[in-house]
Structure 1
Amino acid sequence: MTISPRRLILASTSKYRRELLSRLRLPFDVVPPLVDETPAPGEAPADLAVRLSLAKAEAVARQHPGAVVIGSDQVATIDGAPIGKPGDFVGAQRQLRSLSGREVAFHSALAVTDGERVAHADIVTRCRFRELSDAAIDAYLLAESPYDTAGSAKAESLGIALMESIQSDDPTAIIGLPLIALTSMLTLFGLDPLTAGHGGAAQ
């Protein structure tokens, strides 16, 4: 008798996380988590990312008993202070000028739960930006418009040209979903991407 794999749900509205999860070739559904993302007073950015990843996964798991639910959240920091999304050209221009020649830490928090067990991690990626001229910044922003990305740089595409170095144990963490850590977690819940069957992503 064939045992059907457990239902997998991505608790996220991010198109980037959806694309990344589809690389594992596991069938999954997407359910937006209804979670207040306001930081607690005095909460460190890394702690916020971990708390929100857990809250997202647990909120959706309560709605879908028995499913394996993935929650994730990412914050970027410089000298321990959070960096938000720029929102528009001027904001991104200002942000990249401030990051020129400096190191940014991206905390990509991840949580997986089935409503009973929970696994979680914080994967840190350290990106050092090149010394950037105003002309280089403007050319990049006109080419890519990364206004919905903390740090104003999409490292998965042309934004890699802004970098002097990237250090991480999990190369997809910078995009928003650390697939190496996620694979290990999913295996704990009986969903090894290499053996669980490949039905493709939900539409």
Structure 2
Amino acid sequence: MNASLILASRSAARRAMLAGAGVPFEAEDAGVDEPAIKAASGSDDPVALAVELARAKALAVSQRRPGAWVLGSDQTLAFDGGLISKAPNLYAARDRLKLMRGREHQLHSGAALAKDSVVVWSGVDTVRMRMRDFSDAFLDAYLAAEGEPVLASVGAYRLEGMGSQLFDRVEGDYFTVLGMPLWSVLAELRRVGAIAT
């Protein structure tokens, strides 16, 4: 490797993906104002927004860490013709999950790689997910078991946990659901020489 890799994220799932793939990295919170970026983008396009947020995170850390490769990643959720943001509390998460049950939504996971304050690559992957028609009793048990940590996910679920029981169909890559298009990220890291080929 010719430079260190920094993951510009607080996400435990993204950290676990890179660690599980055997990629050496440091993690640093990008500290970006996501609502402000969304507002400034002027776009309701969830795909473009996922990439824009990933680019903003990569650039924010890259400006502080010259010479390092910086990987930013973010995710948007499109449902019923609109964008969904993270639920502020478990009551809002419950209402949202009730609205989404028995219906389909899309997760868009964007990623961007920057070095020396320049984005050298960005990409996105999409997964289509259908929630099953779960009961209110199951929903209450799910939220009681998972608690506040589900609020860190835009969909108020973790597919790697009990949230897997909310679904009856997922079309697309598992890593994209977790929050990063891992296969394309790894390919790009190899291409730029940030990890071994």
Report how many aligned residue pairs link the two structures: 190
* 1:167 corresponds to which of 145, 168, 171: 171
Q: Which has the higher helix share?
A: 2
Residues 77-115 of structure 1: per-residue CA shift (max 9 Å, x gap): 103311122232211210111001111111111001223
Equivalent position amino acid for 2:104 in 1: E
Measured against aligned partners, the alpha-carbon deviations of 1:147-185 in whole angstroms (never above 9, x if no partner) come to 2222222111111111011111x3211111221111111
Q: Secondary structure at the match of 2:60?
A: helix
For the pair 1:14 / 2:8, whether they are aligned, the reply is: no
Q: Which runs of 5+ in 1 are unaligned?
A: 197-203
Report whether the alignment pairs 1:118 with 2:115: no
- Corresponding residue number in structure 1 for 2:27: 30
Could you tell me how far 1:117 is from its partner in structure 2? 5.5
Which runs of structure 2 are paired with 1:4-83 in the superposition (5 Å)?
4-37=1-34, 38=36, 39=38, 40=40, 42-44=42-44, 45-83=46-84
Partners of 2:192 and 2:41 lie apart in 1 by 34
Partner in structure 1 of residue 89 of structure 2: 88
1:147 corresponds, among 135, 148, 151, to: 151
The aligned residue for residue 199 of structure 1 is none
* Deviations 1:41-82 (CA, angstroms, capped at 9, x unpaired): 641232222111111112211222221110011111103311
TM-score, with structure 2 as normaliser: 0.89
Max Rg structure: 1
SS of 1:62's partner is: helix
- Contact 2:112–2:119 at 8 Å: present in 1 too? no
Alpha-carbon distance in 2 for matches of 1:41, 1:177:
21
- Give distance in 2, aligned partners of 1:109 and 1:165: 22
Contact persistence 1:87–1:148 (CA under 8 A)? no
| Percent of aligned positions that are identical | 36
- C-alpha deviation, 1:137, in angstroms: 0.8
What amino acid is aligned across from residue 146 of structure 2 in structure 1? E
**Which secondary structure does the structure 1 equivalent of 2:133 belong to?**
coil
Q: CA RMSD in A?
A: 1.7
Give the Cα–Cα distance (whole angstroms) in 2 for the partners of residues 138 and 12 of structure 1.
Answer: 30
Structure 1 equivalent of residue 187 of structure 2: 184
Looking at structure 2, the residues matched to 87 and 42 of structure 1 have their Cα atoms a distance apart, in angstroms, of 23
Provide Cα deviations, 1:94-145, integer angstroms capped at 9, x if missing partner. Answer: 0111001111111111001223561111111111000121111111111212
CA distance in structure 2 between the aligned counterparts of 1:36 and 1:148, rounded to whole angstroms: 15
Q: Which runs of 4 or more aligned residues in structure 1 lie more than 3 Å from their structure 2 counterparts after TM superposition?
A: none
